[in-house]
Amino acid sequence: MTHTALYLQHKELLGQAIEALSTRQFFSPYPEHPKAYDPALDTKGKEAFGRLLNENFTQLNQDAATWVGEEVSPLWQYGTGVRYPALAVDTYVSHSAAAAKDWKSASIETRAGILIESLERVRLRFFELAYATMHTTGQSFMMAFQASGPHAADRALEAIAMGVQELTRYPNDLAFSKPLGNYSLDVQKSWKPIAKGIGLVIGCSTFPTWNTVPGVYANLICGNTAIIKPHPKSVLAIALFVAELRKVIAEQGYDANIVQLAPDTVANPITQALAEHPAIKLIDYTGGNAFGDYVESLDKTIFTEKSGINSVIIDSVRDVKAVAQNIAFSVSLYSGQMCTAPQNIFIANEVKTEDSVLSFDDVAAQIVEAVKGVISHPKMGAGTLGAVQNDTTLSRISSQEGEVLLAPQKVENPDAPNARIQSPTVMATDASATVYREEFFGPLVFLVKTENTLESIAVASSLATSKGAITCLAFSTDAGTQAIIEEQMNEAFVPVSFNLTGAGFVNQHAAFSDFHVTGGNPAGNATFADASFINRRFVWVGNRRM
Amino acid sequence: MTHTALYLQHKELLGQAIEALSTRQFFSPYPEHPKAYDPALDTKGKEAFGRLLNENFTQLNQDAATWVGEEVSPLWQYGTGVRYPALAVDTYVSHSAAAAKDWKSASIETRAGILIESLERVRLRFFELAYATMHTTGQSFMMAFQASGPHAADRALEAIAMGVQELTRYPNDLAFSKPLGNYSLDVQKSWKPIAKGIGLVIGCSTFPTWNTVPGVYANLICGNTAIIKPHPKSVLAIALFVAELRKVIAEQGYDANIVQLAPDTVANPITQALAEHPAIKLIDYTGGNAFGDYVESLDKTIFTEKSGINSVIIDSVRDVKAVAQNIAFSVSLYSGQMCTAPQNIFIANEVKTEDSVLSFDDVAAQIVEAVKGVISHPKMGAGTLGAVQNDTTLSRISSQEGEVLLAPQKVENPDAPNARIQSPTVMATDASATVYREEFFGPLVFLVKTENTLESIAVASSLATSKGAITCLAFSTDAGTQAIIEEQMNEAFVPVSFNLTGAGFVNQHAAFSDFHVTGGNPAGNATFADASFINRRFVWVGNRRM
């Protein structure tokens, strides 16, 4: 199939995607529910995943100086045995440089066709991807399926669509004519979006594709090449993505090294050497603050999503049980290992309901009960918590100061008796304490008692400004108070979700509708996917001819 | 006149401006020729300028702790005596912060109406602005009129238009609905562009309005406030702009401190204190590399235009005289004090014409003759050269190594016998030399002898990559060679202008059509005015309600 044919095949989808960028209405060409797919794919996917175990992962078709792999399934708590081809840093870079020329001169349509086709190929492997993700991140099947497969593909398509929109913003050629009285100054002008060069994309352990593919596809649509440095404990899911990408690229006659996977090990990390390599012009990073701040300090084009401390503000409620349930699910989901998960729940000392006033203790008790309910519910429980990706997460959150309202509960996953499961620890603390003013990634939440909602807002927004925040969930039945919360949190560049109930959870950020990370506070400097997520990856150059 | 009325009055112009951003066709609502304006305005403008001399400049209606002013007319070579109100750094910042709240919550339409109205008011003072510019920068009347008045107003309108386009890119409100089988998840979503805060705009001595107003108007349309720190030797022109802006803002019931002029003196500079003030979130900078690199190192949103070394590449020519004349005009115009002016003219050892081959010396002789022609021409001469803004510029370029082909010639300005005039020094050097590998801002050009055009390209592009470049002018009659020049220079993120003749000069960058500075090499990190010039000034925040 020629480049043009691929583009034509996916043109309609691309057009819909570009339109969705502007309407922000629901748009998800990759359905999130497993039942939307051929039922046979699940078994096939599971089998395919099984065949990858304890083998060299050869599908990348990349050169290998050595083979590395040290992933440990959080469900089994033993290694998956998959090994990936590894090369020296300079070799990745020289491969990338060699592949760059043809790719940057490929038309935008050619690039778009190839990139969308790769997503269509990945679509056939969503179940395999789900199992790969479960056994590297500890996500439950449903989350692993949705986040690594359809949601990631949606985000990748979003980056492609935003790319095409921005890259075609100006005319290729123009007969420019400036009237000068009796004559005119006629100049033939042309504009070209010139790719910046090689982009490094640094992945994280918990969302190995969802957080990685936006930067990868954004780089590729702009004509940059990409080197992906996955987290050494979470490689397999993104490796599947890269394998499909490389296959389609090679089929279309381009050098597959346009995108390379560059795995490393905990003992011998290569991230810093890659990041500092002078030929690397762009870096996309997802991960902790310390390394993220270092990455941001490099004199390159940098896109980061770092950590943040997300808040819930409880001012007044219609139905405290519904509120507690909503919060309980959001803090339990994947054991708080989502960047969008709340950590601090600020509870005004007097929380009004329709017919009464609840104390901090009343509300706290409701939340504790609701968390117990979620983790003991047969249809939620381990299926909501998933497993904890690594031991460090658990050790980081253990034994914090404060009053423990709910200690980790016994939760079992019948399908994985050895899974590293831990239900959220619920602590109570006062607003004057300092313990909750740091990020604790994982299953730990603080119920923070405040004098009133104004104090809740003040502390939450101040923390967002100093430490970063990606989300804020607020409950208030008062329009005036909602306006204050919205204004103050927005001022700290934090989006607010009000009064979520039912199927609406603060953790959810839908591609094409919700911007993920605002870029305005220390939680990150970039957004999936606004115009800057694309425009900073290339440079407009205008040439003139007489 | 209400905010709405102002918006409605200027809505048509705004619409045309937004359209011009995409077509990139000629669009200049502020005609560049003085003859397009009421002839009475010239005399009135000259008189108005005269009344400003040796007085306190009170039109800003700003508080004053002291009055400062040390501008020296390059035409008269004595002080203009204009003094400007000055305050402490913290006072500017607290004024700006106090003015911010109403402005950021003003509608985009309100802001656009006020900002365009200010340009219409400035339009009435274009001649006064021209004289103010002549007597601070040394520009000739024609350049001073065009650059400080209409061209600057065009660039300001461009920033406003790009602002409105980007700020209205997403819906204010949306009833989002996600189908979930038998029911749907319904969320009321809204998006707001939130201003980043106070923007500092640091001006330069040579183009005090043209380089300053894009950042100022870009900040203001996004809801940021602005503090303008002009070059202490070039204040008056931007002061007139700011005076009109403040008047319109105050008339419309907003705090005039939304925009403030913050003048300083050479002895007591305040730029660094302003730049490092934690409340300053954005900085626009035009000026030299050393301070520009420092500004770029600050952890803020930074837009720079620094220095660069612009090249001419002469490969082959149809008419060597026409080529030499074009180059001679471009290097003479304002004595090389334009950021777009060429410095290095790379001449292949064999330059083909239609019927002969010229040596380096042949071409060099033609350029020298052409420069002599320009500077001695009664209609060009001082009117093209203008005056040199300051003595430092002259001392910096004096006594460079190399062969002097043309020393400074005697040129007089009959209207200003005391003017600091210096015609371009033309030096010959070999490509292996190092002398031409630094920027010499002002009337100095190097004719650099190369083996062939490939060497010319290699050196020019390497210099652009390491030191920066804003323009490249190339002469070649061969399409293949043109393609190589274009590719190589574009790769260094330098736009190329080919075979300019007649009224086409490389120095010209037209608003709405030519991007000024690509942002891709060390000459600067920003572009007048691409989408990023706007989008980096605010943050999209999306709120959700159930």
pLDDT of residue B379: 80
Q: Are β-strands A357-359 and A344-352 bridged in parallel, bridged antiparallel, or unpaired?
A: antiparallel
pLDDT at residue B1 tops 60: no
Mean predicted confidence (pLDDT) in A116-124: 98
- A420-464 confidence digits (pLDDT tens): 999 999 999 999 999 999 999 999 999 999 999 999 999 999 999
Which of A535, A536, A537, A538 has the highest number of chain B CBs within 10 A, making it the mutation to test binding with B? A535
pLDDT at residue B373 tops 60: yes
pLDDT of residue A2: 66
Rounded CA separation B35/B122 (Å): 17
- Which amino acid would we find at residue B467? K
Neighbours of A333 (CB within 10 A): 25
Q: Hey, are the CB atoms on A174 and B532 less than 8 Å from each other? A: no
Question: In terms of Cα–Cα distance, which of B541, B516, B523 is closest to B159?
Answer: B516
Q: Looking at the complex, does the CB of residue A377 fall below 8 Å from at least one CB of chain B?
A: no
Domain boundaries, chain A: 3-306+525-545, 311-498
Question: What is the distance, to the nearest Å, from the Cα of residue B18 to the centroid of all Cα atoms in its chain?
Answer: 20
Q: Hey, are the CB atoms on B532 and A532 less than 8 Å from each other? A: yes
Task: Tell me the percentage of chain B whose pLDDT exceeds 90.
Answer: 95
Q: Looking at the complex, does the CB of residue A536 fall below 8 Å from at least one CB of chain B?
A: yes
If you ran DSSP here, which 8-state letter would residue A269 be given? -
Task: Tell me the percentage of chain B whose pLDDT exceeds 70.
Answer: 99
- A287-344 confidence digits (pLDDT tens): 999 999 999 999 999 999 998 999 999 999 999 999 999 999 999 999 999 999 999 9
Q: Looking at the complex, does the CB of residue A294 fall below 8 Å from at least one CB of chain B?
A: no
Assembly ipTM: 0.97
User: Can you tell me whether residue A372 is helix, strand or coil?
Assistant: helix
pLDDT of residue B2: 66
HEC profile for A173-210? EEEEEEEECCEEEEEEEEEEEEECCEEEEECCCCCCCC
Rounded CA separation B306/B295 (Å): 10
Topology given in CATH for the domain delimited by A311-498: Aldehyde Dehydrogenase; Chain A, domain 2 (3.40.309)
Q: What is the dihedral of CA A380, A381, A384, A385, to 10 degrees?
A: 170
Q: Exposure string (b/e) for B96-127, b if CB count within 10 Å is 16 or more?
A: beebbeebbebebbbbbbbbbbbbbebbebbb
pTM (predicted TM-score): 0.97
pLDDT at residue B36 tops 70: yes
pLDDT of residue B181: 86
pLDDT of residue A158: 98
B73 CA: distance to closest CA in chain A (Å)? 31
Nearest 5°: the CA angle A496, A497, A500 is 160
Mean predicted confidence (pLDDT) in A155-177: 98
pLDDT at residue A272 tops 60: yes
- From the list B185, B503, B515, the residue facing A503 with the nearest CB is B185
pLDDT of residue B396: 83
- B512-545 confidence digits (pLDDT tens): 999 999 999 999 999 999 999 999 999 999 999 9
**Considering chain A, what is the average pLDDT of its residues?**
96
Which of B19, B24, B158, B196 has the highest number of chain A CBs within 10 A, making it the mutation to test binding with A? B24
Mean predicted confidence (pLDDT) in B222-232: 98
pLDDT of residue B378: 82
- From the list B23, B500, B519, the residue facing A546 with the nearest CB is B500
Q: Looking at the complex, does the CB of residue A191 fall below 8 Å from at least one CB of chain B?
A: yes
Q: Hey, are the CB atoms on B22 and A169 less than 8 Å from each other? A: yes
- From the list A25, A171, A543, the residue facing B24 with the nearest CB is A171
Sorted by sequence, the CB contacts under 8 Å of residue A217 that are 6+ apart come out as A115, A156, A157, A159, A160, A163
Query: How many C-alpha atoms does A229 have within 13 Å on its Cβ side?
Result: 27
Sorted by sequence, the CB contacts under 8 Å of residue B141 that are 6+ apart come out as B130, B131, B134, B383
**Considering chain B, what is the average pLDDT of its residues?**
96
B188 CA: distance to closest CA in chain A (Å)? 10
Among A54-58, A113-117, A230-234, A392-396, name the one with the lowest average pLDDT.
Answer: A392-396
Mean predicted confidence (pLDDT) in B204-229: 98
Q: Has domain B3-307 been given CATH number 3.40.605.10?
A: yes
Sorted by sequence, the CB contacts under 8 Å of residue A95 that are 6+ apart come out as A63, A87, A257, A260
Neighbours of B88 (CB within 10 A): 13
Neighbours of B41 (CB within 10 A): 17
CATH of domain A3-306+525-545: 3.40.605.10
Q: Which two tokens stand for residue A514?
A: 């919700």
